[in-house]
């Protein structure tokens, strides 16, 4: 019995020592306010550029749509029934369902979930907002909003979409300052 007590005490002491700091506590809590993180993400401004979206072989037939990630953005590439190619934001408001699943007409694409039609040229809502099924209730609670549109061109064997390639970095610059960001702000403060 005495041996078991000694063994338990020894195990507890070893467990506690695993969490004890190896350096003096004072060294762990001091922090230089003048230190700078070299991996800071800064805003770079808008950088519009045509980026390959899909190969021409993946282009849907007129009346169809396909999704692609272009420059970090979710984009829907739709071909109107008249054969013209359009690029819009890939998520249909208000719930973010894929717009590529919608029905494409001559100048509109119809959201598969709630039936809202978006203009292919300007992304604005055409007709009623959330007219189908439970969308009637959702449409009363959420204001109507369109989807972004992008310029499109054929280049070689690809369909290209003009996007802001710095969008993701500019968005994240408000939140991410580098590897040591979890320990506080670079100016010594805390979030």
SS3 content of the chain, % helix, strand, coil (to 5): 25, 30, 50
On the question of pLDDT at 60 being above 70, the answer is yes
Would you place residue 149 in the very low, low, confident or very high pLDDT band (cuts 50, 70, 90)?
Answer: very high
> Does residue 71 or residue 65 have the better pLDDT?
65
Q: Tell whether pTM > 0.85.
A: no
Domain assignments of the chain as residue spans, ordered by start: 60-148
pLDDT value, residue 26: 39
pLDDT value, residue 190: 60
CATH of 60-148, one of 3.20.20.110, 2.40.10.480, 2.102.10.10, 3.30.70.20: 2.102.10.10
Q: 6-21 burial by CB neighbour count: b if 16+ within 10 A, else e?
A: eeeeeeeeeeeeeeee
pLDDT value, residue 45: 77
Q: For 137, phi and psi rounded to 5 degrees?
A: -75, -45
């Amino acid at each position: 019995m005495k041996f078991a007590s000694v063994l338990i005490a020894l195990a507890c002491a070893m467990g506690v020592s695993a969490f004890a700091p190896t350096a003096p506590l004072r060294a762990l809590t001091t922090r230089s306010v003048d230190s700078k993180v070299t991996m800071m993400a800064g805003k770079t401004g808008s950088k519009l550029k045509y980026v390959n979206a899909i190969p021409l072989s993946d282009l849907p037939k007129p009346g169809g749509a396909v999704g692609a990630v272009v420059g970090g953005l979710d984009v829907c590439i739709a071909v109107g029934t008249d054969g013209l190619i359009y690029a819009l934001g890939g998520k249909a408001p208000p719930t973010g369902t894929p717009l590529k699943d919608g029905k494409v007409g001559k100048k509109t694409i119809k959201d598969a979930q709630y039936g809202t039609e978006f203009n292919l040229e300007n992304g604005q809502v055409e007709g009623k907002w959330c007219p189908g099924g439970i969308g009637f209730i959702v449409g009363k609670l959420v204001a109507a909003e369109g989807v972004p549109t992008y310029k499109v061109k054929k280049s070689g064997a690809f369909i290209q979409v003009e996007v802001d390639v710095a969008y993701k970095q500019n968005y994240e610059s408000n939140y991410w300052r580098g590897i040591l960001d979890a320990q506080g702000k670079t100016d010594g403060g805390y979030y």
